[in-house]
Amino acid sequence: MVRAMENAFYAQSGGVTSVINSSAYGLMSELKHSSTNTKIYASQNGIVGLIDDKMYDIGKTKRPLSLLIESPAGMFGSCRVKLPDLDQTDFYENVFKSLDEKSIRYFFYNGGNDSADTCLKISQAAKKIGYQLNAIAIPKTIDNDLMLTDNCPGFGSVAKYIATSSREASLDVKSMCKTSTKVFILEVMGRHAGWIAASAELANTSKETYVHKILLPEVLFDEEKFLAGVDADVSRQGFAVIVASEGLKSKNGKLYSETGEKDSFGHSQLGGVAPKLAQLINRTLGLKCHWAVSDYLQRSARHLASQTDIDQAIAVGQKAAKFGLQGKNGIMPIIERVSNKPYKWRISEGNLKEIANKEKTVPSSFLANDKFRINNKGIQYLLPLIQGESFPEFKNGLPKYEQLDLHLI
């Protein structure tokens, strides 16, 4: 492996977002600008495309890369795959054989906690085998739970969507509560970190309460206290709106609701918190409930994306390209908050060893005294992340969401 290696590999991994493609745009546009001799290969379905040797040659794409900014989900396909331990040398030798055949020196992996683990393993395996590789992880997760970075690209847009949807649903319930539904429950994503649920607090104003209870994985669920609070909310306002994380935990520390199934990383498959809460409220308080699960809707809502989120997603992609070309390895571009008022931020770097397989949860200092709401400190953290609008182009009343013309090599 002595010939010149200057080409780049990019892949998307884990649950997608409304702005992950913006990071791809930032990376690819910066590589094209700063390293004109670098060919860019985008993997089909994350690391799976590298294993199966299915990659797109971005140099053959004729449509403008700027289309990536307006398109939600993963343009190149994503995956959830856990790589084997480093002692599985045959596997990694095959991986680097595929990279070597395409003269790939720059490895960019766009994802969250588990994806950071994948990128770190590739970096460590390259050193072990003696393959010259600059492996850079690009942050992306709606869960907002990556360590070191102030916030994660993908989260701001989900926060904007959840706060908006919660306020709209609250107005709906308020108008019907006299003779119909008294309680509405929205279940949102968040396994161990309740950032998405916490963002529902942004729906509230100093004059109007739209969301009455927020249930986080960080706070063990006290049924008696919860029911008393819901009863009081309905008695006072005529209705109650609850936003609950899918990872809500009972007093014994176990998940309040799980399916019993696990993904490839060993994570429990979650779901069913909202209907379980609705049954509890109806059985105990006799109140009519409606519930909904935001699921994929929350992370694909590009039509309501935060401009701040898009800007940061592009910026981490651009910085990743610069880090790679500078010869850096085993790191991730991270967002640093410089100030709140006015909101200013910058991109620096974080070591993957301090990020992979770790989680940043909602701090107790962000919780209101009753732990069912978010206090002003938490609001001041969240609010800048949802600022600004960037509507996609519409046609016939719907977003166009045009796709790139992609060509497998």
- Per residue in 137-181, pLDDT (tens digit) is 999 999 999 999 999 999 999 999 999 999 999 999 999 999 999
Strands (E), 21-173: 40-43, 55-57, 104-111, 134-139
Predicted local confidence at residue 44, as pLDDT: 98
Domain with CATH 3.40.50.450 in the chain: 7-140+304-358
The per-residue pLDDT for 1 is 41
Q: For the domain 155-302, what is the CATH superfamily, name and number? A: Phosphofructokinase domain (3.40.50.460)
Q: Is 117 marked active-site?
A: no
Q: Which tokens go with 102?
A: 């395409």
Domain with CATH 3.40.50.460 in the chain: 155-302
**In this predicted structure, what is the pLDDT of residue 260?**
56
Residue carrying structure tokens 């931020």:
345
Rounded-to-integer distance, Cα 157 and Cα 163, Å: 10
Q: Which residue has the tokens 């571009």?
A: 333
Torsion of CA 113, 117, 122, 126, to 10 degrees: 130
Pairing of strands 104-111, 183-188: unpaired
Q: What pLDDT score was predicted for residue 270?
A: 62
User: Residue 153 corresponds to which amino acid?
Assistant: P
Residue 370: phi, psi to the nearest 5?
A: -85, -5
Fold observed for domain 7-140+304-358: Rossmann fold (3.40.50)
Q: Is 116 exposed, middle or buried (0-12, 13-18, 19+ CB in 10 A)?
A: buried
Q: Using CA atoms in the order 383, 247, 139, 45, what is the torsion angle rounded to 10 degrees?
A: -130
**Residue listed under structure tokens 């797109």:** 56
Tens of pLDDT along the chain (409 residues)?
Answer: 445 679 999 999 999 999 999 999 999 999 999 998 999 999 999 999 999 999 999 999 999 999 999 999 999 999 999 999 999 999 999 999 999 999 999 999 999 999 999 999 999 999 999 999 999 999 999 999 999 999 999 999 999 999 999 999 999 999 999 999 999 999 999 989 999 999 999 999 999 999 999 999 999 999 999 999 999 999 999 999 999 999 999 999 999 986 555 555 555 656 699 999 999 999 999 999 999 999 999 999 999 999 999 999 999 999 999 999 999 999 999 999 999 999 999 999 999 999 999 999 999 999 999 999 999 999 999 999 999 999 999 999 999 999 999 999 9
Which pLDDT tens digit goes with each residue over 310-354? 999 999 999 999 999 999 999 999 999 999 999 999 999 999 999
CA atoms within 13 Å, Cβ hemisphere of 348: 10
Give backbone dihedrals phi and psi of 185, rounded to 5 degrees, phi first.
-120, 125
- pLDDT of 47: 96
Out of 143, 145, 233, 309, which one is annotated catalytic? Answer: 143
